[in-house]
Amino acid sequence: MAGRRSTGGRERGYVRKRGNSHQVLVYAGVDPVTGKDSYLSESTRDEKKIPEIRSRLLAKVDRQRNAATKATLSYALDAWLEVHEADESTLDRYRELAERTIGPALGDVPISKLGARALEQFYAQLRRCGARCDGKPFVEHRTADAHECRVVVKHRWPPGRPSVKSRAEHDCDAAGCRVAECRPHVCKPLSAGTVRKVHFVISGALAAAVRWEWIDSNPAAEAKKPKQAPPQPQPPTSDEGSRIITAAWAQDFAWGMLIWLKMVTGARRGELLALHWHDLHLDQGVLEIRRNFTHRNGKAREKDTKTHQMRRISLDPGTVELLATHRLNCQEQLAALGVAFDESAFVFSYEADHSRPCNPDGVSHRYAEMCTRLGIKSHLHTLRHYSATELISSGVDIRTVAGRLGHGGGGTTTLRVYAAWVAESDRQAANVLAGRLPKPGSTGRSD
């Protein structure tokens, strides 16, 4: 069957026989991801329907070519980020994905030309290599400017804000500073979770474009995104937890207090660092979580908690006593400086006057180094898992565990993340009940 031709002579529509079916193909332009010719296609076993199908596909291509707007994806992303409601740290992350990951690949593509297939190919490329390389070896240079490939040192400074003196006395060998240079590219695939975030950003921008009548439909709504991997928390064991807290106390009391509180409350890192003394009600044995502290791209912020809800966590007498000692140490430290103690001071700080909280990344790095010296594979967030698993294994109900962790959904998130430990706790419960009931032929309890 003859197909119509474009002004350039390219065949726009043709049919090919595939078994008992007729496949209608219509040229739709160059694929924005692969650079190859792209075709819309549809199959039918009824030869009489071929003209109808070809006309429909041609009309779809013509609508794309004559869209009401020529806006590119980068333009749509910028417009969406201007109006999207989210906290600053979340918006910063979206902007980073838009600039570093989405923009270089699809930023110049008109949104009217984007389709679900192009997006799925883009996601597949990111899952193979975050740099979307073509598989051929090349050198990753430290800078795009003209330079000679040479060795540079990436220093590792101690936690906190290093002074000029500490930098001058810095021992690279002792600190474990790394040597970096222009080196051959090694593919680093993006995780499924990161690609899902990329999809969310693209989908949000295209959904806004639909609302603004720039395009008729959102292709990201049809695109298949990577599956969400099931959570597999790996908390320290009870023995490892004891070794970790012992090592923390050995370093200094304030550091030990931070790790202790992380383990017994399961609070998020930023939530603990945002604590002021007026958030601790030691006479009632209660800790109030009201804020979260973040430090990203050089910007330090106190903001709402992740769930935007305040929560009160009960403290045991031993923890209350330790916090009272930590408070006394803080008061004595301030008195030595001639500074009056203020309830608005931060509970955990590297500053002598406790005027600002510890740097979140510095805390995480310090914890990781401590665990490395102990021979334990762990990062700071696993202490949140440690708290949850210890509580569940001890028989504490899910709703209580969820409340202490600050999980939303009445425990749904807690069940999803810690299902393995819930199952183990359930088996223990079964053994307890079975042990209290008499077996056939016995005269009393089986235990």
pLDDT at residue 419 above 50? yes
Is residue 319 located within the same domain as residue 176?
no
- Residue 445 domain flag: no
Q: What is the pLDDT of residue 436?
A: 64
Q: What is the mean pLDDT of residues 69-94?
A: 88
pLDDT at residue 152 above 80? no
Q: What is the pLDDT of residue 88?
A: 81
Q: What is the pLDDT of residue 86?
A: 85
CATH number of residue 342's parent domain: 1.10.443.10
Is residue 288 within 8 A of residue 312, CB to CB? The reply is: yes
Is residue 104 located within the same domain as residue 34?
no
Q: What is the pLDDT of residue 4?
A: 42
Question: Is pLDDT larger for residue 325 or for residue 238?
Answer: 325
Is residue 127 located within the same domain as residue 247?
no
Q: What is the pLDDT of residue 142?
A: 65
- Residue 443 domain flag: no
- Cα(239)–Cα(445) distance, rounded to whole angstroms? 34
Q: What is the pLDDT of residue 74?
A: 92
What are the residues facing 26 on neighbouring strands? Answer: 13, 40
- Residue 441 domain flag: no
pLDDT at residue 221 above 60? yes
Is residue 107 located within the same domain as residue 197?
yes
Q: What is the mean pLDDT of residues 239-251?
A: 93
- Residue 2 domain flag: no
pLDDT at residue 39 above 90? no
Is residue 388 located within the same domain as residue 281?
yes
**Of the spans 186-195, 304-313, 365-374, 418-427, which averages the highest pLDDT?**
365-374
- Cα(164)–Cα(162) distance, rounded to whole angstroms? 7
pLDDT at residue 422 above 90? no
Q: Domain residues for 45?
A: 13-65
Q: What is the pLDDT of residue 445?
A: 52
Is residue 262 located within the same domain as residue 342?
yes
Percentage of the chain lying above the pLDDT 70 cut: 82
Is residue 383 located within the same domain as residue 299?
yes
Is residue 282 located within the same domain as residue 401?
yes
Give 10's contacts (C-beta < 8 A, 6+ positions apart). 27
Percentage of the chain lying above the pLDDT 90 cut: 36
pLDDT at residue 173 above 90? no
Is residue 245 located within the same domain as residue 371?
yes
- Residue 232 domain flag: no
Question: Is pLDDT larger for residue 229 or for residue 195?
Answer: 195
E strands, 45-198, are 139-140, 152-154, 178-180, 183-184
- ∠ CA 316-317-318, nearest 5°, is 90
Q: How many domains does the chain have?
A: 3
pLDDT at residue 97 above 90? yes
The sign of the torsion formed by the CA atoms of 89, 95, 99, 101 equals positive
- ∠ CA 215-219-223, nearest 5°, is 175
Q: CA 407, 412, 413, 418: dihedral to nearest 10 degrees?
A: 110
- Cα(78)–Cα(315) distance, rounded to whole angstroms? 46
Is residue 81 located within the same domain as residue 46?
no
Q: Mean pLDDT score of the chain, rounded to an integer?
A: 83
Is residue 61 located within the same domain as residue 143?
no
- Residue 227 domain flag: no
Q: Measuring CA to CA, which residue among 23, 17, 76, 81 is closest to residue 53?
A: 23
Is residue 280 located within the same domain as residue 397?
yes
pLDDT at residue 434 above 80? no
Name the least confident of 13-17, 171-175, 194-198, 278-282. Answer: 171-175
pLDDT at residue 230 above 80? no
Give 320's contacts (C-beta < 8 A, 6+ positions apart). 282, 285
- Residue 420 domain flag: yes
pLDDT in tens, 113-148: 899 999 999 999 999 888 888 777 777 776 677 776
- Residue 440 domain flag: no
CATH number of residue 120's parent domain: 1.10.150
